[in-house]
Structure 1
Amino acid sequence: MTTQTTINNEKLSPWPWQIEESTTRFDNAAMSTILKDLSLACYVVNHPEKGLGVSQKSEIASGDSASSANSQPVSAFAPALGTQSLGDEDFRRCHGVKYAYYAGAMANGISSEELVIALGQAGILCSFGAAGLIPSRVEQAINRIQAALPNGPYAFNLIHSPSEPALERGSVELFLKHKVKTVEASAFLGLTPQIVHYRAAGLSRDAQGEIQIGNKVIAKVSRTEVASKFMQPAPAKMLQALVDEGRITAKQMELAQLVPMADDITAEADSGGHTDNRPLVTLLPTILALKEQIQAQYQFKTPLRVGCGGGVGTPDAALATFNMGAAYIVTGSINQACVEAGASEHTRKLLSTTEMADVTMAPAADMFEMGVKLQVVKRGTLFPMRANKLYELYTRYDSIEAIPVEERQKLEKQVFRSTLDDIWAGTVAHFNERDPKQIERAEGNPKRKMALIFRWYLGLSSRWSNTGEQGREMDYQVWAGPALGAFNAWAKDSYLDDYQQRNAVDLAKHLMHGAAYLARVNLLTSQGIKLDPELARWKPTQRMA
């Protein structure tokens, strides 16, 4: 008996199983159903007459000729591995989520309360786009989200504001006041007292003496020098200053030197909005290598996690990112076209037809003077051209008055649609509510005054896009990366082609389940199985949420 089994096993190599023909499906529709059921293992046979077939049941090949008559040897096998096989289990446990996935923040409330709540209720993390909003508006969002998701998951974005430090500090004070437990830190060029304050203020020890991290930080970075700062403990000098100011305790300072500044590091590749346009395939391995180096140096009890966003817009891209070692993936641009996003109907429709080449770089409102740019849609809007013109004038002249009269008149007529004096009056009113020190700094500094006037246009253009300001369509500032174009190409000719059918939970599930499905396909392919092209791809044929 043993000899016969051995002979049979050689014939069936590499698997010692066989499948009853009665349980095997050979038509594409039935095979698709079995392959998509990731909760059960699947077995593939290569029938001499019917070709490839799939089953969810197998038996040990016994060598019994009677049982073998209606059975076929297993040619390939894929275990039951669903979305839980993708990414780091610690990420899911730490944030109390279903997937190693989160929806990143998009400023000015584009990542809206509705988006955060819808994803949160499905067990998916989403970061509210607090950047660019006044404190009272952020507080309103905190109250609404916490009422809907008392136990989470949710996060709030803390964007670095080098020209408006008071705004950054005010955001942290709001987060601490309302006990916001997860912050997504973005656009940081290094550590600031504000982000260090948030992190340290949540540290304590439990009854067993273990360090408890009450305030979690997800740091979005695209440079190793910034990543390394968030991977290490906060600097003692900055902590001591916070102790001296009475903002943290001496005990919290001590604990802050034993844990990294962030729990999670998101390697931000070619994303919409603020980006360094880093290629995902070079950035992620570099940040992962840095993580290993710093983890080896500090031996943190809970190892650092590195995920990736910027370019992840399809199941294929999601799987590729996980296969490169990402602990989790982050989406952004694809969510902006969803019904829950805080973008206008006009903008969502425009986004649903955006192609990969329809994006470009333009000056950022919050870092205008530094020459920092962000990635925006260029089709259907003149914003990129007009914004770049403003920056060109800013670098060429020292004041508004120094700009030639003809050029000024063109700006007033085509871009601002008002006199520059009126724009300045509106700018003063805006910053008196948001950050009065900005106006103080501009007094007696004509270059600074010019920057604030130009920032009026850059700041409002994104709000016009969100609110659907009529008559300003050609000035809409719409943040997006090439991942959106890839998503639109993938969704073409499906129900997701219609932007009104897009909801964020459905998209998240398609990306995660699609990635797990493609992992199964790749595993079968590696065993010599060549599936029909119809079965080899994951297409959004039906809604998942």
Structure 2
Amino acid sequence: MPSLTQRLGLRLPIVLAPMAGGISTPELVAAVGNAGGLGSLGAAYLTPAQIGEAGAAVRRLTQEPFAVNLFAPQSTSEPTAPQVERAVAELAPFHADLGLPPPALPPQTSGDFEAQLDAALEVCPAVLSFTFGRLETRHLEALRVRGILAIGTATGLEEARQLEADGVDSIVLQGGAAVGHRGGWSEDELADTLALTRAAAQSVRVPLIAAGGLMTAADVRAVLDAGASLTQCGTAFLRATEAGTSAPYRAALAAAKPGDTVLTRAFSGRTARGLRNAVTAGIGHPLPYPQQNALTRQMRAAGAAAGRADVLSLWAGEGVAQGREGTAAEILAGLWP
């Protein structure tokens, strides 16, 4: 069997983590691909039309393979009226400080996965990666028919085994140090990336992609030696020239010190790792995902426009203090010299 690197035609064993919300711009995706890695377009918050437009933009910038990432469909329950009232009351002071009207939960809180997937199939990337759960057999078959590799995300061994049984082509193993949302759907082990990689290499047979806290060439080499086929890096690229990271977000990343990250549900309702700020400290009763994500959207947009890092979701992994500015190609060169 060809290796995953060979199947994807990569020159470097590095995948750009699919950071949704505007970080993984077409320019960043293409730059990583042109430098020899696999660029990933975080498309979970895009409409079907935007997915098509972003895919076309990537193709105008590169002929290299790339990935599109979506959030797997999840069963969600509507929050109760008291839950909404409590979440709104917690956010109200932040809205008032930003000069916004009182927070209100919009009627539409999540995207249409089936329509997003159809749009991704039309783009026909080399890879469709997904987080937050599992895809149905029909989804995986639709990818297989088009020659698109399916890559799921696991935070522990049991999730990895389930994804393997589903028939995915590869699995991202997300260690506890990783940037952003936890990508699993059952019990999150928050495991050390290297230890999780070693254990999974003995437990599953599909190619593994190690993620979480990989900021240096030594980190990358260690997980490859432990059994990973590829590595996935997110925090390392947050300050890349081509990334869509806002100015206040970049400034907060540049000032970050070891130990400055925290696991929080404050912004989206799902556990995610980012820098501590006023919102992570002040929100104690968030709604579930995706309702909390929708509820905080206006605050986050206004904060970005006002240059207010204290109200932004500053996603960052535990290695954030080792991050640096530079082009995507320069950052890749530091990860695989």
Q: In structure 2, what is the equivalent of residue 223 of structure 1?
A: 156
SS at match of 1:482: coil
CA contact (8 A) 2:26 2:57 kept: yes
CA contact (8 A) 2:45 2:111 kept: no
Q: In structure 2, what is the equivalent of residue 373 of structure 1?
A: 271
CA contact (8 A) 1:462 1:478 kept: no
Q: Does 1:146 align with 2:89?
A: no
CA 1:456–1:472 in 2, change beyond 3 Å: closer, same or farther? farther
Cα deviation, 1:458-480, whole Å, max 9, x if unaligned, reads 33455556xx3206432011111
Inter-partner Cα distance in structure 2 for 1:111 and 1:228:
29
Q: In structure 1, what is the equivalent of residue 49 of structure 2?
A: 136
SS at match of 2:244: coil
Q: In structure 2, what is the equivalent of residue 266 of structure 1?
A: 172
Q: Does 1:90 align with 2:3?
A: yes
Task: Judging by fraction of residues, say which structure has more helix.
Answer: 1
Q: In structure 2, what is the equivalent of residue 320 of structure 1?
A: 222
Q: CA RMSD in A?
A: 2.6
SS at match of 1:138: helix
Aligned amino acid, residue 389 of structure 1: G
Find the partner of 2:316 among 480, 495, 514: 480
Q: In structure 2, what is the equivalent of residue 170 of structure 1?
A: 115
Aligned amino acid, residue 153 of structure 1: P
Inter-partner Cα distance in structure 2 for 1:316 and 1:462:
35
Cα deviation, 1:193-219, whole Å, max 9, x if unaligned, reads 3xx334212445xxxxxxxx7010122
CA 1:472–1:121 in 2, change beyond 3 Å: closer, same or farther? same
CA contact (8 A) 1:99 1:124 kept: yes
Q: In structure 1, what is the equivalent of residue 29 of structure 2?
A: 116
Structure with higher Rg: it is 1
CA contact (8 A) 2:65 2:126 kept: no
CA contact (8 A) 2:30 2:64 kept: no
Q: Does 1:351 align with 2:264?
A: no
CA 1:375–1:321 in 2, change beyond 3 Å: closer, same or farther? same
Aligned amino acid, residue 24 of structure 2: S
Inter-partner Cα distance in structure 1 for 2:255 and 2:111:
39
CA contact (8 A) 1:271 1:311 kept: yes
SS at match of 1:316: helix
- 1:161-200 aligned at under 5 Å gives the runs 161-162=73-74, 163=76, 167-188=112-133, 191-193=134-136, 196-200=137-141
Q: In structure 1, what is the equivalent of residue 279 of structure 2?
A: 383
Q: In structure 2, what is the equivalent of residue 155 of structure 1?
A: 67
Find the partner of 1:503 among 306, 310, 327: 327
Inter-partner Cα distance in structure 2 for 1:117 and 1:158:
18
Cα deviation, 1:104-151, whole Å, max 9, x if unaligned, reads 1111121111100111122221111112223332222012112323x4
Cα deviation, 1:465-505, whole Å, max 9, x if unaligned, reads 6xx320643201111111222x24xxxxxxx5xx3xx1121
Q: In structure 1, what is the equivalent of residue 232 of structure 2?
A: 330
Q: In structure 2, what is the equivalent of residue 362 of structure 1?
A: 264
Q: How many residues align?
A: 297
Cα deviation, 1:444-467, whole Å, max 9, x if unaligned, reads xxxx9xx84x444433455556xx
Aligned amino acid, residue 169 of structure 1: E
Greater relative CO, 1 or 2 (CA 8 Å, sep 6+)? 2
Inter-partner Cα distance in structure 2 for 1:140 and 1:268:
29
SS at match of 1:337: coil
Inter-partner Cα distance in structure 2 for 1:333 and 1:167:
28
Inter-partner Cα distance in structure 2 for 1:133 and 1:462:
17
- Deviation of 1:183 after TM superposition, in Å, equals 1.0
Cα deviation, 1:390-446, whole Å, max 9, x if unaligned, reads 42xx69xxxxxxxxxxxxxxxxxxxxxxxxxxxxxxxxxxxxxxxxxxxxxxxxxxx
- Deviation of 1:376 after TM superposition, in Å, equals 1.0
Aligned amino acid, residue 327 of structure 2: N
Inter-partner Cα distance in structure 2 for 1:214 and 1:329:
22
SS at match of 1:266: strand
Higher alpha-carbon deviation: 130-139 or 169-178: 130-139
SS at match of 1:131: coil
CA contact (8 A) 2:39 2:66 kept: yes
**Identity over aligned residues, as a percent?**
20
CA contact (8 A) 2:260 2:275 kept: yes
TM (norm. structure 1) is: 0.51
Cα deviation, 1:68-107, whole Å, max 9, x if unaligned, reads xxxxxxxxxxxxxxxxxxxx97122111111111111111
Inter-partner Cα distance in structure 1 for 2:71 and 2:142:
18
SS at match of 1:199: helix
Which 5+ residue runs of structure 1 have no aligned equivalent?
1-87, 205-212, 235-260, 296-303, 396-447, 489-495, 514-545
CA 1:461–1:281 in 2, change beyond 3 Å: closer, same or farther? farther
SS at match of 1:389: coil
- Deviation of 1:166 after TM superposition, in Å, equals 5.6
Q: In structure 2, what is the equivalent of residue 80 of structure 1?
A: none
CA 1:229–1:476 in 2, change beyond 3 Å: closer, same or farther? same
